[in-house]
Amino acid sequence: MKLRIAKEFTWQMSHRLPFHKGLCSNIHGHTYRIRVSLVGVPDDFGMLIDFYELERIVKPLIEQLEHSFVVDKNDEVMIDFLKKNNFRFVIVPETTTSENLAIWISNQIAEKLKEYKNIELLSVRFYETPDSFAEYELALRKNEVK
């Protein structure tokens, strides 16, 4: 029997989309929220993973992002500005769209879930606003189809 559990996390963060033709090219922030969902086979006690354990895995990433500026590794103008002014920032490999951040966060979490052999699928729903999200699913076992 497979089942799904989920836990949500919220934080404040800023970014910009330098390529954007509208207001999003400016520095701005959001109250972000993610819903981390796991699918797998529960253990003998009926538990997929303890919610406290899931929080232990995800919380350090949220603490890193909290009140930080998330910046694309190619946005040299912003990286230089952030360094010169000693601001909190996190460099990510792609532009800071919801889609790319959903993938990046999923990959960060997946790395920490490898030890749980009973968990087969990770899904991260990344909310940029209360009604707009991107969602990414990642198979944690090689024999699973994404």
Residue 144: predicted pLDDT: 46
State how far the Cα of 82 lies from the Cα of 69, in Å rounded to an integer. 8
pLDDT(72) > 90: yes
Tally Cβ neighbours within 10 Å of residue 130. 9
Choosing from 8, 67, 94, 144, the catalytic residue is: 67
Active site annotation includes 67: yes
Mode of pairing for the β-strands spanning 68-72 and 89-92: parallel
Confidence of residue 141 (pLDDT cuts 50, 70, 90): confident
| CATH entry 3.40.50.2300 includes domain 11-46+56-116+128-139 | no
Residue 142: predicted pLDDT: 67
Active site annotation includes 94: no
pLDDT(146) > 80: no
Instruction: Please state the domain extents for the chain.
Output: 11-46+56-116+128-139
